[in-house]
Amino acid sequence: MAIKPTKAEKKQNYDAKLCQLIDEFTQILVVNADNVGSNQLQSIRSGLRGDSVVLMGKNTMMKRSIRIHAEKTGNNAFLNLIPLLVGNVGLIFTKGDLKEVSEEVAKYKVGAPARVGLVAPIDVVVPPGNTGLDPSQTSFFQVLNIPTKINKGTVEIITPVELIKKGEKVGSSEAALLSKLAIRPFSYGLVVLNVYENGSVFSPEVLDLTDDDLVQKFAVGVSMVTSLSLAISYPTLAAAPHMFVNAYKNVLAVAVATEYSFPEADEVKEYLKDPSKFAVAAVAAPVAASSAAPAAAKEETKKEEPEEESDEDIGFGLFDE
């Protein structure tokens, strides 16, 4: 007969396991486990088996083990986990891709009925249609201000009704109605609250970012740096091209307003002296482009035209007998 470990031995084993996982894994998902049953949690463990480990436990025990382990190893990055251990939470240690692991965890959700006193995580809307209830139940719907009619001996809901709003507590009447209609409006599973990676903590929304999102955010950042640099006249790599262009415009304006000149300014001064050159330059460019196109087309047609075979190539002349 196996001897059951004492309470102190269980704590020691748990502490050793937690410290081992922290040393072995650099990526941790902090998940909320409200309304998650043991069978559901076992299914999640089976689905993540291979490159991930799910560890549940008391927050005080986890905080104590992490704090002592950080002092022993001198790695204070572990301490960033302590503020995250609030509420009914657990830890998923993984070596796989964080986004894939998060998506795998989200698959294991189970439908649940609306119990009295439960805070609704989503809006609950009762759809219109036949309820299958007999006409004696109409008074029940009237209490909840749900418009109904009798159709073929059963109660039918006329329009969709928003029964419970997100964040509200489920009342006894709402819970009874949803039970009668066999509606299980809520679904529960492990919800990723925070992501820990090599000492850094960030929101799980970061995992949904794509390469296009990163490029867009980088472009916005560069634009902001450029605007700030130009506003305070501080040279940066992003603002340098704009500064050179602005400086050239200033020098060109000075050259036009004074007798000082340089080759680029001479051309501008000629245009200002004779504005008709603007029209000539504007017309010349399209004409050059249009004339070049037919010429290129003619050359292509010449290349594509097959050469006619001569009689000599065939092997006899016109007057050969």
Tokens representing 142 are 């009237």
Distances (CA, A) of 55 to 30, 42, 82, 153, 158: 10, 11, 15, 54, 48
Q: Quote the pLDDT of residue 279.
A: 66
What Rg do the C-alpha atoms of the chain give, in angstroms?
A: 38
Report the DSSP pairing between strands 191-197 and 154-157: unpaired
Q: Quote the pLDDT of residue 224.
A: 92
Q: Quote the pLDDT of residue 106.
A: 86
Q: Quote the pLDDT of residue 293.
A: 52
Q: Quote the pLDDT of residue 313.
A: 47
Interior CA angle at 217 toward 216 and 218, to 5°?
A: 90
Interior CA angle at 286 toward 280 and 290, to 5°?
A: 135
Q: Quote the pLDDT of residue 316.
A: 42
Q: Quote the pLDDT of residue 301.
A: 53
Q: Quote the pLDDT of residue 310.
A: 46
Residue 215, C-beta contacts closer than 8 angstroms, at least 6 positions apart: none
Cβ atoms 31, 192 nearer than 8 A:
yes
- Low pLDDT (below 50) residues in the chain: 305, 308-321
Q: Quote the pLDDT of residue 97.
A: 87
Residue 33, C-beta contacts closer than 8 angstroms, at least 6 positions apart: 41, 56, 88, 89, 90, 190
Q: Quote the pLDDT of residue 311.
A: 46
Q: Where do we find the tokens 């007798």?
A: 259
Q: Quote the pLDDT of residue 63.
A: 92
pTM value is 0.60
Q: Quote the pLDDT of residue 297.
A: 52
